[in-house]
Every structure is written in C-alpha cells, then in structure tokens.
Structure 1
Amino acid sequence: MPSRNHLDKIGRKKKKKWSEEAMERALMEVKSGRCTVRQAAREFSVPKSSLGDRVSGRVTPGSRSGPAQLITSADEKFLVEFSLYMSKHGFPLTKQQLMSFASSIYKRQHRRVAFSKLGQTWWLNFRKRQEKNIRIQPADNVVRGRTVCVRKEAVDQFFHLLSNIVDARGLRNKPHQIFNCSETGFQLGRKRLILSKPASLGYKPAPGSRDHISVLACFSAAGEDIPPFIIYSKAYPGGVCYKTQGPPNAFYGWSDSGFINSDLFKKWFLKHFIPRAPKERPLLLIFDGHKSPVNLEVVESARKEDIILLCFPPHCSHILQPLDAGLFLVLKQRLASMLGDTWTSDTHFAVSKKEFSCVFKGTYQVVREEEGVRIVQDGFRKCGLYPLDHFTISEGHLMPQNSIISASAGSSLCTSVHETHSVGDLTAAVSTS
C-alpha cells in the first residue's frame, strides 16, 4: 500500500488549467503554418511541451495525460453497473470485493500478468471518477445474529424490493418462474455411544469416522425442482458409484469445508441451473448470497439470460427461506428413518461418504410425491414469498425499528470493520433494471 506522503503528493499535483479545445485550436494553427509552437502556446495559454508532443506525434491529440488507465473506461462503466446491480438486489459490495472484481477485469485484459496492479491509489482515483454514480458509506453496525432477533427494517426493505420486482417483471401469478435455492448439511459417522464415565475418558473416535456433506436444493414456488447439488468435503468418494447410484441428474462438487463457496456456486449456476431451468423468462432466483457471494461471471450470465438474482437479508433464512421451513426437516427425518434411526438436531447419519448419494436418492423421492410438492408450496406460503404476503412474518421474530445494539457484526458482505465500506446506489445515473 502506498505511503501517506505518496498519497498526499497525488492530491497536491497541479490541476490542468487549459482546455482540450484550446489545445486543439493551437495545434491547428501550428499545422497550418501560421504560428510556431512557442507562439501558439503563448496565444492559446497551453503548455509548450504538451503542444510540441502533439505536433510531433508523441502524444495523440485528445488523449489523457499521465499513465495509462489500468481498466478501460468501458470496463469501469461495467464495474459501476455491476456494483449498482448488486446493491439494488441485496448484495452491497465491500471495498475489498469491488477491488477483487476490478482485479478480475484487469486480469482478463492482461492474461500474462501474474498479479494485479490495482491498489489503494487506483481505489482513490476510482472513487473520485465515479463520485456522481456511487456512494461509499460505512457498513451497518447492528448485530446480525439470528439468536437475538431479525431487524424489521431489513425484512421490510426485502419485501418492498421483492414486490417491486414481481410487479415490474409480471411474476405475480407465475410460481413456476420464481425459484429459491438453499443449502443444508448432513453430518456422517457412526451413531453416538453412551459409555460410563471411566470408559469415556479413554474413548476416541476412529479417524475418518465422521464426514460432512451438504446438499444445495432448488425449487420453484410451484414445487418443481432443479436436481440437487451434492457437495462433498475435501474430495470426491472413490469410483463412480456415487454418481451412477445417486439421484437422477444430480450435480456433484467438493470443497475443503463441504459447504458451497463462490466458485461452486458459479459452477452450479452456469452448468446446472441455467440448462435445467424453465425456458420462460424472466426467472427470479432468491437465495442467501452472503454465504455464497456471487461473482462477475454469474451476474453477467444472469443478466444475459434474463434471470433476476435476489439476496435475502443477512441471517434471515430461518424465517424467509421456504426450503428451511419444512422440506429439509422432512428429508433429514426420512434419511434417518431409512437408516433405522430417529432424527434429532445433532444426528450423525450412520452412512459412509460413498453410500450417501445412493441412500439420499431414496430420501429425495419425496419431492416427486404429492406430499413433497405440497411441503415446498407451503414453505413459500409460510415465508410470504408466494403468494406475496409480507404479513405472514410474525412480529415476534422482528427487532423493533430504531433499536440500538452496540456490537460489531460478524463476517458478511458488509462486515463492520474499520475502513470497510459498502457500495450503495443513491445517485445512480446508470439504469440496471
């Protein structure tokens, strides 16, 4: 990061006191032979050296002075549009995220460059150039923990945004074009043993006896599903049986944690959701983007395919996620029943990593039955997403407006840390609808 003295020097640089129009007139006089470079510079009040550079061809007339812009004006305009789109749809960007996306654009143009040249100086210049289009504001300091309660203003804002989108895009009576995707986890391993105290002191679980698998499910408000995305932790199981014996047309991936991340979400969206989604447009996809933040490719593809991405407010999934409202509970109960166990909130399913997809295939059949379709539809209705009804959310879940809680937020898209900002859309002149 550049030193403060270096940044101060940038601010103290002399501002250009001549206009391009004056420079162009002076250049015409010199080229016509009516004046020398010195005479034209004095007459039109432009720097002699700058005029000489244009006469000799070292500088192209009309070009900006100084070092070349790291990102072209067209790409910078796209970056602003992308930031405004994200803000409007519930994904306000932090400074770090915006610079990460800018670095991605830079690397597209300079594929042989091993690292990005974008730094604090670029950020300060970008803010200055785009001060009329975006506003930088501190992130919210209110506690976002669901164990306390959910902020009323956040839920109100979400439903206001959802209502505007549904009405503007004609989705009020099109449940098959409104989708929700959500992730649930399964802890694998043998059943817990109840041992006497002396024995338990020496008991150690066998290495690798537990594992984690998560499933990303996606359903429309009409109860129609996109085949599940099964995510393994650390690596795929050996062989191909986990694919051939799993749910029909299921998608597979892995991550170190066994949970979805930005790269896996991009893979799922581009290679699985878009090919299998209905052909009618527009589509609305609602999800918790704070757990799996989207990237440039996802937003570009969504806008090209006329798919609207909408993010739930932070830590509101327990009251707004339709799939959390019933379907996931039924799936876990059925899985435990198939394994001859009773499901509780801390159940470890006694099934191996290789066997999981085969067992889950039988469990997932519930979504093909009338009961499963009804459960999904009830989930959308309970959460007020379809039919759209803000008043289904109980006041007991909400934090009174203007409540003040002095604590810092955890890690989210708008992390409340010093020098972290969110990019908001207040004075946007660029349309992103």
Structure 2
Amino acid sequence: MVRNYARVVGGRRSHGHDNQQIEKAVEAVKSGRMSLRGACKEFGVPKSTVHDILKDKHPKKSGGQTVLSAKEEDQLAQGILKCAEWGIPLRAIDLRLVVREYLNRMGRKEKVFKDNFPGMEWVRGFLSRRRELTVRLGENIKRVRAAVTREVLEKYFNNLEVVLNGVPPENIVNYDETNFSDDPGKSRVIVKRGEKHPSVIKDTSKTSVSVMIAASASGELLPPYTVYKAVHLYPTWVEGGIEGSRFNRNISGWFDITTFEDWFTTTCVPFFKNRQGPKVMIGDNLSSHLSVEVIRKCEEMGIDFVMLPPNSTHLCQPLDVAFFRPLKIAWRKCLDQWKRKNRGVLPKSEFPRLLKSAFESMGSSLSPNICAGFRATGIFPFDKSRVISKVPSLNPKDNSDAASDAWSNAFLEMLASSRAETPEGRKSRGKKLNVEAGKSVSAEIKNESVCDDVVDISSEKNLSVDEVLASHVNNEVDFEIPGSLTENSFVLLKFGTNKRDRLFVGKVIEVCSNKKIRVQCLRKKNTAKETYFRFPDVADECIVGKSQIVRQLAPPRDLRRGRFVFSSLSDVNDVD
C-alpha cells in the first residue's frame, strides 16, 4: 500500500540551497580570491557542504538516499530512452524487473527492497528525479514499418533533393487515399456511478467510403475524389459536395488502376495545367496507384512522379503525418451530430454534404495543418534530418567505461533483432487438412489427413504441371500443346510462383509470333449452384510464351452475362 508522507510539525527543514551559488563559492575558494568561511558567508551556503566538495567527498543530499547511485541511475535512464527509441518502451513492471536483475548480478542485497524487487513508490520517485522520462500511452505500429532503416531514408531523400531543386511549393503535390467510416466512435456520457457498460442508442455499421485527397506544399487543397462501393451511380450521391469534387464507383469500393487514372485526369491535370515551372507529385507505391498511362501523362506535362519508400508513410507521407487525424476528428463530430438527429446508417446521398461540413469545420486550421505535414516530413522546407532523426541508429555512442560500452552493444543487438521485419524460421501454412466438420485433429495424424482434392504442384515428387495434368487428363480432350493458335480460342496457362505453379484460363487476343501470344485471363467464381469463369472488371492482359500453354481448351458454354463453363476442365481442380 502506498504511504502518504506528512511533514512532522517542528521538524528540520531543508534550506534547498541553489547549486549555482554553491558552485560559485567553490570556484571562489579554489581560485584563492576568498577564504572558505568568507565564500560561504558571501554566497549564503553551508560551510560543510563546500568543504566536502573541495575534499571530493561528494556530500549526501538532504533527506533519504537513493538505492542506486547517480551514475547507475544515469545508465538506467539511458537504457530506458534507447528502448523507447527502438519501439520497445518499458512498462513499470519491466523497469522493476530490470533493477532487480541488475542488483542480483552485482551481488547486492538492498534491505529497502523485498528480495531486491523495487516497489511502485521507487518507480514514482525515480521518474520524479529523471525529468527527461515520462509515462505516455503507446501506439502500435507494424513490424514492417519499424524495419525502415536510415539507409533507405537517406537514399530516398538524396534522390528527392535533386527532384525538388527549384520547384515552388505550390507545384509540390502529395496525394493519399483514406476512408471515412460510418462509426463516430465512443463518447463520454453521464451515467449512474458504478455503471460498467453504459449504452448509447446510435445506428452504426462497418461500411466506409474511400476518398482520394491531395494537397500542395503551399497549403492548397485539391478537390476530393470519392469512390462508392456500388455497381451504379445515382444523381443524389453527387449533390451538395465540395466544389469541384468528383465521384465514381466500383465493386470493391477502393481505388484501382481505372479509378486512379480517372482521378489523375480529371483532378490533377487541370490543377497542373496552368502551373509554371517544374512540378512534382509525391505518393505511396501501391500497385493500384501505379499506372503506365499516368506516368506517360506526367512525362508529357513535365511532372516528376515520386514514390515513397515502402512501409514509410507514417514518416514520409505529409497527409498521414499531420492532416488526416484532425480531418477524421472533424468527420466524427459531424457524423455524430447527424446520427443524433437521424436513424439508420449514413446513406450515400448524405455523404457529400457531411464531408463538406467536416472540411469546413476545420476552418482556418486546414491550410496550416497541410503545411505542417510537408514540414514534418522534410519535403518543404527540405530537411531530411526531421525524418531520419526519428529512426534509431545502429551505431552506439562512445563510452569511456568498457562495461557500459559492452552493455550498449549487447542491448543494440537485442533491439535490432526485436525490430526485424519478419522472424526467422517462420513456417508456411502448408496444405489444408481433410477433417470432417466437428471432429478434432492431432499433430500425429495431420500428415495423413492432407486434403487430396487439390492438385499440389510443389509435392515431394517435384512433378511438373504437365505431369500432374497428365495423371488427371480426360481422354476426350487433346492434351498436346497445339502448334498454332487462332484468335478468340481458349487455353489453360501456367504461371510459376515461389511455392507452386498456378493455373489460369485465358482467351487468345493476338498471336504475336511463333513463340509469343497475347491473352486475357479469366477468373474462377464458385457459387452454391455452379462454378463458372468470367472476365474481371479490370482487364488482365499479358504476353505469354508457348511453353506456358498447358493445353488448348474446347469452346466454353456461355451461360449468360459473360459467364462461361468449360467442360474440358472437369479433370482439374486447382484452376484460379
């Protein structure tokens, strides 16, 4: 139980002398300008204190003495700061365990601690003495983000410095995709004391709407671009929004190559069209944001397209660093106000108006937040030290103490392994088990229960795709690779991966040469009633060689609305 200390009435009070005055008195005596008695009288400090300092006796502080010496507490504080720098901050219990382990290794037995284990009172006292330490709530980041090194950032900023040379801030644009959910989050309410789970009647859902937001380093915001998860777009879904904003829709509700190209053409091109001088557009390296058409248009308009390093948006993305958080806070406030007056989930017809209200509620802080993001990420004004200083260094500082130096190197090695991107020896998922529903399985029988209805190319026999299909081939289908193919014919293709070869169905679009053909791949769909193939919304075209053709397929049966069934694939189960 924590004790509450109370000063005894009439007890001796500490004078609390100023350390600067003591240092002046010591300096005056050392220089010979004043005597010990005269210096203490002149600066108003105790004679015994100055005398002990001159004799190098290191006088004790007033009150109780600390268990660890000043040097030991300094080393402990440095270790705590290093742990926090590497993303592995200590908790109070961890700090107490570290101190106990240290005392046990040193062979010391401290009577004030039970079994050398400090209490919470010691932790509070230690934190009060070390003003550079404090207790805060930690935020979780993925290991791949923590694995970003200084070398990667150095290379990125060296290239970026060349690109940004002579570019005005109004011509530097950063873009990023974010989502606005239908849940305003929790709020504090007044209820009866002792109520553990207060409930608030409010209709929410897990749905969200994806919006592409872009802004320049001068603080100018480009019109947002919204993508709904829908097949069709209706007039009420685009009314009442921000001036110049645009809307689109697709099956997934996220940006793909088609919507990204449309956003660049309708939003970025008009913005850059009348801008003079060099232009730069900075964004993440998502595959859905990489388009040959966009890069070609950038080259025509003189726009440098810059990609951020992988897994570094929390450090290098201006919108992520300083803009999205206040925007999401404003969004949740506007959404909460709407849900207090209305029932049900947020309809798409209300989304444009609500998004506009969120931007307007930010008021005068909108532009400063954008500029703060570019400044914090070192883009404008250009300052790479703002980002690189946030990443820990593997080079330990020089220490005069050999023991401290050895401890620092060992500590850094441990931290580096903890911060690594992926642990070594991670096992793959392997094959699925053919176990009846409701029955348990043990480790002894898992190898015997491997599902045998999947054609696994990476088996122990190392069979090729042709050899596997040859064992399942239907005699009515010609398995030989044809010598010539015509347009609009269908073929079974194989594509090699690290684990196994994958099989796809493709339609021949063009015969390029005797060894190359252009095909458009289909996707397999499984439903409760039937299994069929269809062309994806985004065309998946590629050029393949004759060696990738497993066999030519018989013409399919067209069910309806572009859904095909191949009777010649009845002997193959693992087509993607």
Task: Give TM-score, length-normalised by structure 1.
Answer: 0.51
The one-letter code matched in structure 1 to 2:229 is S
Note closer, same or farther for the CA distance 1:309–1:400 as it changes in structure 2 (3 Å cut): farther
Of structures 1 and 2, the larger Rg is shown by 2
* Alignment-derived partner of residue 260 in structure 2: 265
The one-letter code matched in structure 1 to 2:365 is E
Displacement of 1:276 after TM fit?
2.5
Aligned residue-pair number: 252
Displacement of 1:209 after TM fit?
4.3
**Deviation digits for residues 319-356 of structure 1, max 9, x if unmatched?**
111111222111111121123369xxxxxx96232211
In the alignment, is residue 182 of structure 1 matched against residue 176 of structure 2?
Answer: yes
* Alignment-derived partner of residue 244 in structure 1: 239
Checking the alignment, whether the CA contact within 8 Å between 2:170 and 2:218 is kept in structure 1 is yes
Displacement of 1:288 after TM fit?
0.4
In the alignment, is residue 309 of structure 1 matched against residue 309 of structure 2?
Answer: no
Note closer, same or farther for the CA distance 1:182–1:406 as it changes in structure 2 (3 Å cut): closer
Checking the alignment, whether the CA contact within 8 Å between 1:288 and 1:312 is kept in structure 2 is yes
User: Comparing both structures, which one devotes a greater share of its residues to helix?
Assistant: 1
Checking the alignment, whether the CA contact within 8 Å between 1:215 and 1:228 is kept in structure 2 is yes
* Alignment-derived partner of residue 299 in structure 1: 295
In the alignment, is residue 362 of structure 1 matched against residue 357 of structure 2?
Answer: yes
Q: Among 157, 160, 166, which residue is 2:158 paired with? A: 160
The one-letter code matched in structure 1 to 2:271 is R
Cα distance in 2 between the residues matched to 1:326 and 1:166: 21
Note closer, same or farther for the CA distance 1:285–1:337 as it changes in structure 2 (3 Å cut): same
Note closer, same or farther for the CA distance 1:232–1:224 as it changes in structure 2 (3 Å cut): same
The one-letter code matched in structure 1 to 2:153 is V
Checking the alignment, whether the CA contact within 8 Å between 2:157 and 2:384 is kept in structure 1 is yes
**Deviation digits for residues 185-214 of structure 1, max 9, x if unmatched?**
112258789xx99xx9xxxx99x9442211
Residue ranges of structure 1 left out of the alignment (5+ in a row): 1-143, 343-348, 410-416, 420-433
Displacement of 1:222 after TM fit?
0.2
Displacement of 1:271 after TM fit?
2.2
Superposed, 1:274-423 pairs within 5 Å as: 274-277=269-272, 278-340=274-336, 351-365=346-360, 369-393=363-387, 395-398=389-392, 400=394, 405=420, 407=422, 418=498
Residue ranges of structure 2 left out of the alignment (5+ in a row): 1-141, 188-194, 339-343, 396-412, 425-496, 500-576
**Deviation digits for residues 96-152 of structure 1, max 9, x if unmatched?**
xxxxxxxxxxxxxxxxxxxxxxxxxxxxxxxxxxxxxxxxxxxxxxxx944534222
Checking the alignment, whether the CA contact within 8 Å between 2:185 and 2:332 is kept in structure 1 is no
The one-letter code matched in structure 1 to 2:177 is E
Checking the alignment, whether the CA contact within 8 Å between 1:327 and 1:375 is kept in structure 2 is yes
Note closer, same or farther for the CA distance 1:396–1:386 as it changes in structure 2 (3 Å cut): closer
The one-letter code matched in structure 1 to 2:161 is S
Cα distance in 2 between the residues matched to 1:382 and 1:191: 28
Task: Give TM-score, length-normalised by structure 2.
Answer: 0.39
Checking the alignment, whether the CA contact within 8 Å between 1:191 and 1:350 is kept in structure 2 is no
Note closer, same or farther for the CA distance 1:326–1:304 as it changes in structure 2 (3 Å cut): same
Superposed, 1:189-200 pairs within 5 Å as: none
In the alignment, is residue 224 of structure 1 matched against residue 224 of structure 2?
Answer: no
Displacement of 1:158 after TM fit?
0.9
Checking the alignment, whether the CA contact within 8 Å between 1:179 and 1:221 is kept in structure 2 is yes
Cα distance in 2 between the residues matched to 1:372 and 1:228: 14
Work out the percentage of aligned pairs sharing the same amino acid: 23
The one-letter code matched in structure 2 to 1:232 is Y
The one-letter code matched in structure 2 to 1:333 is I
Displacement of 1:257 after TM fit?
2.8
Checking the alignment, whether the CA contact within 8 Å between 1:242 and 1:358 is kept in structure 2 is no
Detail structure 1 runs of 4+ shifted over 6 Å in the superposition.
Answer: 190-193, 401-404
Displacement of 1:391 after TM fit?
0.5
Where 1:304 maps in the other structure, the secondary structure is: helix
Cα distance in 1 between the residues matched to 2:156 and 2:367: 26
Cα-Cα RMSD: 3.7
Where 1:397 maps in the other structure, the secondary structure is: coil
